[in-house]
Homo-oligomer: A and B are copies of this chain.
Amino acid sequence: MEKNQNQEGLTVKKDENFSDWYSQVLEKAEITDLRYDVKGFVVIRPWGAMTIENMYRLYEQALQKRGHMPCFFPTVIPEKNFKKEASHVKGFSPSVFWLEKVNEEDRLALRPTSETAFFQMYSLWIRSWRDLPLKLYQRANVFRYETKATRPLIRAREFYWIETHNCFATKEEAEKHIQEDIQNTEEIMHQKFGIPFLAIKRPEWDKFAGAVYTIGSDVLMPNGRFIQQPSTHLLGQHFSKAFNIKFKDENGKEEYVWQTCYGPAISRILASVISMHGDDKGIVMPFCISPLQVVIIPIFSKENKNKILKECEAIKEKLLKEEIRADVDNSEKRPGEKYYNWELKGVPFRLEIGEKELKEKKLTLFIRDVEKKEKISLKDLDKLKALGEEFDKRLIKKADKFMEGKIVDCKTKEDIKKAIKNKKIARVNFCSIDISGEKCAGVIEKEADAEVRGILANKTEKPSGKCVVCGKEAEEVVYIGKSY
C-alpha cells in the first residue's frame, strides 16, 4: 500500500463547510492532487485510481450483460466529421481543444464526446437489419475546455467515463433502450455505489447538443447542489441522417437507424460516492469498490513481532482466497496512526490482531461506517463478504434517507427561494419545458439562483394550477435546484 504522507486530520466538519471538507478529503485521503501545473487537470493518485478501476469493472460488467461490447476509438476527431451535425457542433464547439495542424492534414479535435468519431464508422458497418441493434461502448478519457470554475472529479477539463453509442431499427426500440440505461444507472450507481438520483427529462434548452431529448440523473450533494450523473440521450435520426447511417429492413427498404447514447462519468460518480458517504473522519468507501476491503493491523511488541506478523499474513492469505481485497499494514507507524489513516481512506473493515486476540482466537473488527468494534472469531472470517454486503446496504439506506424530505412543493417564487436556501429541491408548476419555457426558467435562475432541471422521466406528474413565473396554465411539474 502507498505510504500516506498527510498525517494531520481533517480540520473541518462536513456539515459545517462541505466545500472545504471535500477538498481536504481528496487531498488527505490521496484521491487526487491538484498541483499538476495545468488548469482543470488533476492527477488521480493510487487510492483514487484503484477505486475508479473497480467502478469501471462493475459498470462494464453490467453493460456487457446487457449486450454492449467494448471498443476503442481514436482520441482525435477530424474537424469535418465533428461539424457534420449542426446542433452538436454548435453545442460543443466552444469547449473543444484543437490540435495544432501538422502539414496539410485535417484539423483535429480532442474528443469532448465521441458521437462524431463512432458514427462515421457506423455508416460503414451497418448495412442490414441483421446488423442491428448495434451497441458499442468505450471506456475513455474525454476533454472539455470548461470555462466555469473547475472542481476536482466534479468538473474537470479531462475526465474518465464510459460512452455507449447505440443503433436501432425503430424509434420504439431506441426509447426502450433509454429506459434500460436508466435501469443501468439504478442497478449500478444506486444499488451498488449507493447514490440515489432523480431521473429527470431535461428542458428543451438544456438537452444534449444534437439530441431529441435528454434524461439526466440528478444527484444531490450534501451542500444542496445538484450534480448531473449519467445521462442518456435519444438522438433520433439527427446523426444517422448527418452521417448517412442506413440499413435495409426485412423488406429491403432503406431506412435511417435510430440512435441513443449514454455516458456515465466514472470519475464524477466517485465525487458523489465520496461526498454522499463520507463523514468527519474522511471517506467511507462502499465495500464493492474499495481498493482494500479489509485492512489488517498487527499489534505487537518487540518480543512477539514476528509471530503476530506471521499470523496477520496467514489471515490475509485466507481472505484473499475468499476473494476479499485484504492487506496487512506492516509499516513503521503506530497502530493509532494506522487506524486513523485507513479510516480517512474509508476502508470498510479493520482487523486488529495482537497477543490477546490470538489467545482468544477472536479478532477485533472495526466497522468504518458505524464506527463500532466487534469481536469476530478466526473461523468466521469468511463471513466478511456477507458483512460487506450488509455494509453497502447500510450506505444505500443512509443515502436514501438523506434524500427524504428534500423535495418541497413550492407555490411561489418566494417558496422556491426559501427551498433553495434550505438546500432543498423545489417541485413547481411550470408553463413548459419546450423552448417557450426558457424565459421563465431564466427568471428563476436570476431570482432564486437555481435551475429548472426538468420533469420526472419515469412518472407523469399532472400540474394543477398556473406557472409559478408567468401565470400561464402550467403544462408541467418541474424540479428546481441549485447546480454545480
Contact = CB atoms under 8 A, between A and B. Distances in A.
- With most chain B CB atoms within 10 A of its CB, the pick from A69, A74, A97 is A74
A68 to B, nearest CB: 9
A160 interface: yes
B73 A43 contact: yes
Interface string A29-65: 0000101111101111110111011000000000000
How big is chain A's contact interface, by range? 35 or more
A337 B78 CA distance: 37
A341 to B, nearest CB: 14
B49 A70 contact: yes
A131 B41 contact: no
A358 interface: no
A110 interface: yes
9 contacts: A2-B69, A37-B81, A38-B105, A45-B71, A46-B69, A49-B69, A50-B69, A130-B332, A141-B141
A48 to B, nearest CB: 8
Contacts of A108: 38
A136 interface: yes
Contacts of A106: 37-38
Contacts of A105: 38-39
A71 B49 contact: yes
Contacts of A2: 69
Contact of A121 (B43, B52, B69, B102): B43
Contacts of A76: 38, 41, 158
A99 B99 CA distance: 4
A449 to B, nearest CB: 27
A143 interface: yes
A335 B278 CA distance: 55
Contacts of A52: 72
B99 A36 contact: no
A244 interface: no
Contacts of A71: 43-46, 48-49
A44 B72 contact: yes
Contacts of A102: 97, 145
Interface string A200-216: 00000000000000000
